Homo-oligomer: A and B are copies of this chain.
Amino acid sequence: MSDASKICKVAVAGLGTVGVGTVRLLQEQADLLEARCGRKLVVTAVSARDRTRDRGCNLDGITWFDDAVEMARSADADIFVELIGGSDGPAKASCEAALASGKHVVTANKALVAHHGHEMALVAEEAGLGLAYEAAVAGGIPVIKSIREGLAGNKIRTLHGILNGTCNYILTTMRETGRSFDDVLAEAQELGYAEADPTFDVDGIDAAHKLAILASLAFGAKLDFEGVYVEGIRHITPLDIEYANELGYKFKLLGIAEDCGNGIFQRVHPVMVPTDAPIASVEGVFNAVVTEGDFVGTTVMEGRGAGGGPTASAVVSDIVDIACGRITPTFGMPAKKLVEKSTLPMDSHSGAYYVRLSVVDRPGVMADITAAMRDHEVSLESVIQRGRDPGAPVTVVLTMHETSEAAIRGALEEIEKLDAVKEPPRLIRIERFQD
Contacts and interface: CB of A to CB of B under 8 A. Distances in A.
Give the interface residue-count category, chain A: 35 or more
Interface of A: 1, 21, 25, 29, 32-33, 35-36, 38, 134, 140-142, 145-146, 149-155, 220, 278, 281, 293-304, 307, 309-310, 312-317, 320-321, 324-329, 332-334, 337
Nearest to A321: B149
A253 to B, nearest CB: 20
Nearest to A334: B38
A337 B296 contact: no
A281 to B, nearest CB: 6
A315 B296 CA distance: 11
Contacts of A1: 327
8 contacts: A1-B327, A35-B220, A142-B150, A152-B317, A154-B313, A295-B309, A295-B310, A300-B300
Nearest to A323: B152
Nearest to A300: B302
Contact of A303 (B149, B220, B296): B296
A29 B155 contact: yes
Interface centre among A155, A301, A312 (most CB of B within 10 A): A301
Given A29-B155, A301-B300, A36 B332 contact: yes
A38 B329 CA distance: 10
Q: Which 5 A-B pairs have CB atoms at the shortest separation, nearest pair first?
A: A142-B150, A153-B316, A140-B296, A296-B313, A299-B303
B295 A21 contact: yes
A314 to B, nearest CB: 8
A299 B332 contact: no
